[in-house]
Structure 1
Amino acid sequence: MTSHLFPSPKRFIISRTDGIGDVLLTLPLAGALKQHDPDCTIAMLGRSYTEPLVRACEHVDVVLNWDEVKNRPLKEQAEWLADYDVDTIIHVFPRKEIAAAARRARIPRRIGTSHRTYHWWTCNRLAHFSRKTSDLHESQLNLRLLEPLGFETQYPLDQIPSLYGLTTLAPLSPEFSRLIDPQRFNLILHPKSKGSAKEWGVENFARLISALPRDRFKLFITGSAAEGMVVGPTLLQPFPHVFDLTGKMELDQLIAFIAAADGLLACSTGPLHLAAALSKAAVGLYSSRRPLHPGRWAPLGVNVRVIEDGIAEPYQGRLQIPVERVINTIVSNLGI
């Protein structure tokens, strides 16, 4: 129930300043707020890196870039936040400096998890749950932060994809759109994760490339320029029919290219979650070990397949998932 001390919340900041997948799994929170009140205003506080993703979401009205003020004094950060005249900030990804700036800006409702000690003095609305011990998906945990507002927070996983709102994508550049082959299945392989997930290994991707029939699949490798240098000798140089897109796209073009392609294969990374959110065939390779397991981090969408290693205990090296299982999933389960 809304406190009598403040009018009903109408202007929100959702603060999430980490990676692509994390920000994407927070967008349903914006969708839920719009579902509750279509006339509310939502600002998303993030980083330069993820700004194109936030701009692709129809639920976000204002994009705020923390990188613009992160090195300024606390007083100036607070003034910057105060200029947006919001009544509620939701700290989805806790950062002490942002929480302090929001308090100093006198934002009326400041929501954060009770499991961050500094939230006890920087926030005045606390959500009492632990991500570490929860069985909920990351997107469901994000929605739990609406509890202090008295809003609905119990969303089944099959309802969450409808809350993404990725409808305002940038147009795909002709240099990339002409690569899409309407006669074949355009499959993006994203072999690296920037250390955010347990990886399958470039050697397994190479075996997969060798096995997929060229007349049915057109293959692309995505990733950063640095990742391209790592995977190139194994995945690109021996396979001239595979298109190298590493380091060639800004995020807005990567999102648009995923939307134009047919499917994507990756471990637990931002591009995998993007493919799922865009209703593409998304095949995710996962460890069964907590907290990396798909129960917490699975991609959510209408055409998702998750392949787990089935090993609950920690182990060294790459994901132990047989190449044959992945090939079978791609060729058979996706109906290609």
Structure 2
Amino acid sequence: MRLCFLVEEHYRHDGMPVEVIRQLESWGHQVDVVRPGGSLLRMSEAVRAGSHDAWVLKTVSGGPGLPLLEAAAAVGLTTVNDVRSIRGVRDKALASAIGRSRGLPVPMTYAAARPELLIEIPESEFPLVVKPADGSSGRAVHLVRSPERLAAMLPVLAGEGMLIAQPYVPNSGIDLKVYCVGGELYATERRSPLHPDQGAHERHVPLPAEVAAIVDQVGAVYGLDLYGVDVLLGPDGPVVVDVNDFPSFRQVPDAAAKVARAVLELARTGSAVAAAAFVSGVTGVSGGGRIPERSFGGGVPAAGAQPVPSSAAVEGR
């Protein structure tokens, strides 16, 4: 297969996707790497129909890669993930609206084009978590404990563009990060960016069944195949606080090979998850197809899940 990876400068030396690209090339596939933030692009030439079997995006939210991926999709090229699904989670205000409307446990979310508008949020909602609507990798995430503190922070927030604010969910200071790759779910825990003094180290942990069901639903709602979900275990149960397309997959065993196999499978077949999601609700159309079930818990199949293709079945394509 011939694949195109759009890799932002921020990730050009990162293990994900560099190790995935190396794995694909070791299997004999051709991988072209385009750096949308560091190259002058001839757009019509870059997205020639039929020139690649699939395009894969690994860029920061708000970076220049997504429009190029959308251009590729517009001429009929396969993208990993589906480009509509990526847009649906990269805008965190949009992601919140979609998630809450589809029954996901997502906090109430306020959006403001200017930080001073956040002052209108009732005092009863504090403390707040305030972050950019196009943020990623924990950038510019603030725990704001009072309206007075918010007023003092307005100059800091002024350069962040569209902002979102959510009521803080009391928690232990440990985030649960769940990754979906190749139809399997893997859970890790890590220190929360809101609690930098917490002494936790990132490590693989068992995946509670309740969280697995929610993360599986996240994929179905947004139409994602490769994704990560940040979950807080709050006093009222698990809460989804962030969704990322093509995350780091840290602590996932044999992550590069697993992601590479998933990319090849999606390049070959397209995304049944995305197709079902955009029929059954993300587009606002009622009805819809069946969402494929996944496996979870470090490779233990969920009831009724389809088997993940073996490396021998996928690598040679």
TM-score (norm 1): 0.29
Query: Max radius of gyration: which structure?
Result: 1
Relative contact order, higher structure (CA 8 A, sep 6+): 2
Greater strand fraction, Structure 1 or Structure 2: 2
